[in-house]
Amino acid sequence: MTTWRGAVRRVEPHLPVLLALTVAAVTWASATGGLGVRAPLPGVVVLLVALATGAAVLASRPWVLPAVAAASWLLLAAWAPVVVASWRAGVGLRGRPLAAYLLGTVPVMLASVAVGGAMGGERRLVVATPGNAVLFYAWLVIAPAVAGLWIGARRDALAALRDRADRLEREQEAQAERVRVEERARIAREMHDVVAHRVSLMVVHAGALEVTTADPATVEAAALIRSTGRAALTDLREVLSVLRQGPPLPSPGWDAVDDLVRESRATGLRVSRADEGTPGPVPGAVARTVHRVVQEGLTNVRKHAPDAAVDVRLRHLADRIEVAVRNDPSDRPGPVLPGAGLGLVGLRERVELTGGRLTAGPTPAGGFLLCALVPVGEPT
């Protein structure tokens, strides 16, 4: 099993090229009579069409392969590119775009029947009879599209499960951190109420003894007790401060926002980044909040609008930073994922703790905007 998985991983990066070569070879075999209807066109034309179908599989534009598939079917009755185009439509399209693709195949198949009837002979017998035309439409368009829909739904389900597992893990970590913070606060209260109170009484009594006694040795001992008690109180305050606030968190710089953008681009998101004003040093809480806003915005776009263009914009003003993550409308929305829905709620609380304001909602154009105003100064 390990050997098989290793072989799959090695072959996977080359699958698009292998698919393109397969489509070109099958198109040639179909048009020359080996796997389909022999075309009356010259061999050079058949070869060019076969190469064009292979290149269309590798094209970045989604409309190239359906267009080449339609042309090759009308010219050569070549079925391979039609199958691949229908399969890709099922995997990548949903709703109206998928319906538009299926409706667009109907006139192509009808035109193929007309071409077969005009050519006569084997072409007429294979593709121009009503029964064969319906059968070809079912096997070349409907069946691959259904298979693509199943594969796409399975991918979406797996992505939803992975995202849900990641979110649950983050929520569990956050819950564990809240428990740790509450426990540290409880310990700090107990130490303050018991230890600090008693040490303070000891210092007070030592100071009173130092003033009222006439014995030099007692005065010296009382002074030592009083100074030692004050030092103990100072150390205790520092320990209580650590217990209440926890260890200092690392403060991400502006390069961390660039890292988020690069990571999103690596996953296929179309992200643009723009800054206004001059970035300057900011408190750690402000930098962490800005980083968190961008992270949450890009995560939500990957979940709900993976094919939409995204704009990340930071405005560095004199007293605050405005961070906005805006995405365009999506033609292929992501799956509706179950979850606690605490991302924006927790983010709003984080922003408000800095004295800022968070807004989130759809834009008039049909996209989504996440915007935060974060004061640069520490909140009072």
In tens, the pLDDT along 74-95 reads: 888 888 899 899 998 988 888 8
Q: Among 83, 87, 90, which Cα is nearest to 156's?
A: 90
Three-state SS at 217: helix
Query: Please, which pLDDT band fits residue 332 given cuts at 50, 70 and 90?
Result: low
Higher pLDDT residue, 314 or 346?
Answer: 314
What pLDDT does 380 receive? Answer: 38
What pLDDT does 371 receive? Answer: 94
What pLDDT does 197 receive? Answer: 66
Q: Which of 8-12, 254-258, 375-379 has the highest mean pLDDT?
A: 254-258
Average pLDDT, rounded, for the chain: 82
Query: Please, which pLDDT band fits residue 156 given cuts at 50, 70 and 90?
Result: confident
CA distance 57 to 325: 34
How many CA atoms within 13 Å lie on the side-chain side of 145?
Answer: 21
First-to-last alpha carbon distance for the chain, in angstroms, is: 60
In tens, the pLDDT along 201-246 reads: 788 888 888 888 878 888 888 887 887 777 777 767 767 776 666 5
Q: Among 101, 129, 104, which Cα is nearest to 114's?
A: 129
CA distances from 233 to 94, 126, 149 (A): 67, 96, 69
Beta partners for residue 316, in sequence order: 321
What pLDDT does 4 receive? Answer: 65
What pLDDT does 300 receive? Answer: 86
Q: At what angle do helices 80-92 and 43-58 cross, to 10 degrees?
A: 10
pTM score, whole prediction: 0.46
Phi, psi (rounded to 5 degrees) for 358: -125, 135
**Mean pLDDT of the 99-114 span:** 88
Query: Please, which pLDDT band fits residue 339 given cuts at 50, 70 and 90?
Result: very low
What pLDDT does 250 receive? Answer: 57
Residue 337 has pLDDT above 70, yes or no: no
In tens, the pLDDT along 6-58 reads: 666 777 777 888 888 888 888 888 888 888 888 888 888 888 888 888 888 88
The b-or-e profile of 222-247 (16+ CB within 10 A means b, else e) is: beebbeebeebeeebeeebeebeeee
The burial of 158, by beta-carbon neighbours within 10 Å (0-12 exposed, 13-18 middle, 19 or more buried), is given as: exposed
Strands 368-375 and 357-362, bridge-based pairing: antiparallel
What pLDDT does 242 receive? Answer: 65
Higher pLDDT residue, 372 or 380?
Answer: 372
What pLDDT does 340 receive? Answer: 43
Asked whether the beta carbons of 27 and 56 are under 8 A apart, the reply is no
Higher pLDDT residue, 178 or 373?
Answer: 373
Provide, rounded to the nearest whole percent, the portion of the chain with pLDDT above 90.
12
Phi, psi (rounded to 5 degrees) for 191: -65, -40
